[in-house]
Amino acid sequence: MIYHCPKKSCDSSTKLKTVIKDGVYLRKCDSRKIQRFKCKICGKRFSRSTHTLEYRQKKRRINYMLYKLICSGNSMRRCSRILGVNYKTVARKVDYLAEKSRRRQEKLLTELQKSKVERMQFDDLITLEHTKMKPLSVSLAVDKDRRIILGAEVSRIPAFGHLAKKSVKKYGYRENHHVRGLNRLFFKIQKTISKDALIESDEHKTYSALVNQYFHTSEYKRYKGGRGCVAGQGELKRQVYDPLFTLNHTCAMMRDSINRLIRKTWCTTKKVSRLQNHIDIFISFYNHDYLNIDLTPI
Ligand SMILES: [Zn+2]
């Protein structure tokens, strides 16, 4: 491992032998010895943990446990009770875990550019922000063959059905950001999809224009949605053969594992960014810890 001087104007590093070891210190929160360094040019002192995401964290011991708990149907408040830490600590750690998971997912997507996705499925999952009159849409894309979640983007949508009028009266006009969310999702995963891939979705009206824009060389198939059965909370379908099974099964797992997505629950999303963070953490958990995917060629 090469360590660089933290000063921007200084380009010394351990490789050039202008950064030298400068003793160790015992980090109390996880009982580890941490190597310190000193720059011989500018005299700046730093340590092995200076450039990490965990820099200045005080409760590193709970990070991994929290990562598993938050992806196993526990709310943030319940996690803080189980781990015996303050709710605010959990809230900050969720931000950190989300950032870490996003970096991990980015790495996976660059690896996927080499072994491209041949069959992709995508759809939307409806949830809410505080009340049913403020619905949210989660656009989700999966690899049909390997089951990898490629990405998920949360976007605000206006209330629909019998709540539409009531919602406008109570909370005012709500903009529809669904197309923006889909754009963000497709832009991120565009390079991982093979040129002659098969893309599958249901018959939502906004899909075909965007698919043509991003994946015009691919084959695009649309299927009619079926009725949901109770066990999958609407995602698993009653019909005998479900062409979008991989996607619907992933959605059902997501609803089961992320507490705030469960239908008819006490636990709801209060902030859109928090839901996005929670989903990002789940994607990392699902791809790496649950599926345990290995993309290295045999
Ligand atoms: Zn320096």
Q: Tell how far the Cα of 51 is from the centroid of ligand 1, in angstroms.
A: 15
- The pLDDT, as a whole number, for residue 232 is 55
Radius of gyration of the chain (CA): 23
Q: Tell how far the Cα of 5 is from the centroid of ligand 1, in angstroms.
A: 5
- The pLDDT, as a whole number, for residue 224 is 86
Read off the pLDDT of each residue in 20-31 and give the average, rounded to a whole number: 94
Q: Tell how far the Cα of 2 is from the centroid of ligand 1, in angstroms.
A: 14
104 Cβ partners below 8 Å, 6+ apart? 284, 288
For 247-271, the pLDDT digits (tens) are 999 999 999 999 999 888 889 999 9
For 42-99, the pLDDT digits (tens) are 999 999 999 899 999 999 999 999 999 999 999 999 999 999 999 999 999 999 999 9
Q: Tell how far the Cα of 26 is from the centroid of ligand 1, in angstroms.
A: 24
- The pLDDT, as a whole number, for residue 231 is 54
Query: What's the rounded Cα separation, in Å, for the pair 86 and 114?
Result: 43
Percentage, residues of the chain above pLDDT 70: 96
H or E segment and range at residue 118: strand 117-129
Q: Examine the pLDDT at 5 and tell me if it is beyond 60.
A: yes
- The pLDDT, as a whole number, for residue 229 is 60
Q: Tell how far the Cα of 231 is from the centroid of ligand 1, in angstroms.
A: 60
Q: Tell how far the Cα of 100 is from the centroid of ligand 1, in angstroms.
A: 27
Q: Tell how far the Cα of 18 is from the centroid of ligand 1, in angstroms.
A: 8
pLDDT band at 225 (very low <50, low <70, confident <90, very high): confident
- The pLDDT, as a whole number, for residue 250 is 93
Partners of 131 in the β-ladder: 129
Do the bridges between strand 131-143 and strand 32-39 make them parallel or antiparallel, or are there none, so unpaired?
unpaired
Q: Tell how far the Cα of 42 is from the centroid of ligand 1, in angstroms.
A: 4
- The pLDDT, as a whole number, for residue 298 is 57
Q: Tell how far the Cα of 74 is from the centroid of ligand 1, in angstroms.
A: 45
pLDDT band at 228 (very low <50, low <70, confident <90, very high): low
Q: Tell how far the Cα of 39 is from the centroid of ligand 1, in angstroms.
A: 5
Q: Which two tokens stand for residue 134?
A: 């403020």
Residue in the structure block whose two tokens are 């969310």: 181
CA distances (Å), origin 162, targets 132, 133, 200, 226, 241: 11, 10, 30, 22, 32
Q: Tell how far the Cα of 11 is from the centroid of ligand 1, in angstroms.
A: 7
Q: Tell how far the Cα of 23 is from the centroid of ligand 1, in angstroms.
A: 17
